């Protein structure tokens, strides 16, 4: 049984004197097309919102539930920063560095800088802000789980827009991930401008059109 994420990590940091604690996560790191998107979320010290019990790692929620929770998050007025790195940059600097770049962009998108970062799995180089990378943090830390939802919903919206531009690839259904349908589309149509050309399935199966 998977426990829901809680606020224990953030509460411990509040006890140490930190005031603005941001959780970070990304979406789209393993996709073959589209951007990698990161989100930063700062919750209040006592996050008593009625939607908190609904929060889980975004991968454990349906699309409908993610959309609902993200809407409730925004309506609650919590701070959310979104960072987007397109596939061309992913190809030029690799996906790990692109993910970190998206997280830095999400950090900069916040109204005011936090004084502590809680990040799913990663740490961000070159920052003076204290931080902690937490393996599977999206399943244990509330602010990271919220960030996972914000990143996933934001990226899904982008992929739906790209589906309208490139309907032959079915981005609306697989969101750019390497499903059997997507791989078949790559064989039949080649790659388009939003594919990640350095990723092996794209490089091996497709030609740029």
d(CA 182, CA 171): 8
| Angle in degrees, 0-180, between the axes of helices 63-75 and 142-165, rounded to the nearest 10 | 110
Q: Which of 148, 146, 155 is nearest to 73 (CA)?
A: 146
Domain definitions of the chain by residue range: 8-165
Bridge partners (DSSP) of residue 42 are 22, 79
d(CA 30, CA 161): 19
pLDDT band for position 205 (cuts 50, 70, 90) = confident
| CA dist 104 → 17, 62, 67, 125, 189 (Å) | 24, 28, 24, 10, 35
CATH of 8-165, one of 1.10.3720.10, 1.20.950.20, 3.40.50.2300, 3.30.420.10: 3.30.420.10
Average pLDDT of span 72-86: 97
The reported pTM is 0.95
Report pLDDT digits (tens) over 117-165.
999 999 999 999 999 999 999 999 999 999 999 999 999 999 999 999 9
* The pLDDT of residue 1 is above 90: no
Average pLDDT of span 49-63: 95
By percentage, how much of the chain surpasses pLDDT 90? 95
């Amino acid at each position: 049984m998977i426990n829901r994420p809680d606020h224990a990590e953030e509460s411990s940091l509040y006890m140490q004197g930190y005031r603005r604690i941001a959780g970070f996560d990304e979406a789209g790191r393993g996709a073959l097309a589209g951007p990698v998107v990161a989100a930063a979320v700062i919750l209040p010290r006592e996050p008593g919102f009625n939607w908190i019990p609904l929060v889980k790692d975004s991968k454990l929620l349906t699309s409908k539930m993610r959309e609902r929770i993200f809407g409730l998050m925004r309506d609650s007025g919590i701070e959310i920063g979104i960072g987007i790195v397109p596939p061309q940059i992913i190809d030029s600097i690799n996906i790990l560095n692109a993910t970190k770049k998206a997280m830095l962009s999400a950090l900069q998108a916040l109204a005011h800088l936090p004084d502590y970062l809680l990040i799913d799995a990663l740490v961000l180089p070159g920052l003076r802000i204290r931080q902690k990378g937490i393996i599977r943090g999206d399943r244990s830390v509330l602010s990271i789980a919220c960030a996972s939802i914000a990143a996933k919903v934001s990226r899904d919206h982008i992929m739906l827009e790209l589906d309208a531009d490139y309907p032959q690839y079915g981005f609306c259904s697989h969101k750019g991930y390497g499903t059997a349908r997507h791989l078949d589309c790559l064989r039949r149509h080649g790659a388009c401008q939003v594919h990640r050309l350095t990723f092996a399935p794209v490089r091996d199966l497709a030609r740029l059109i």
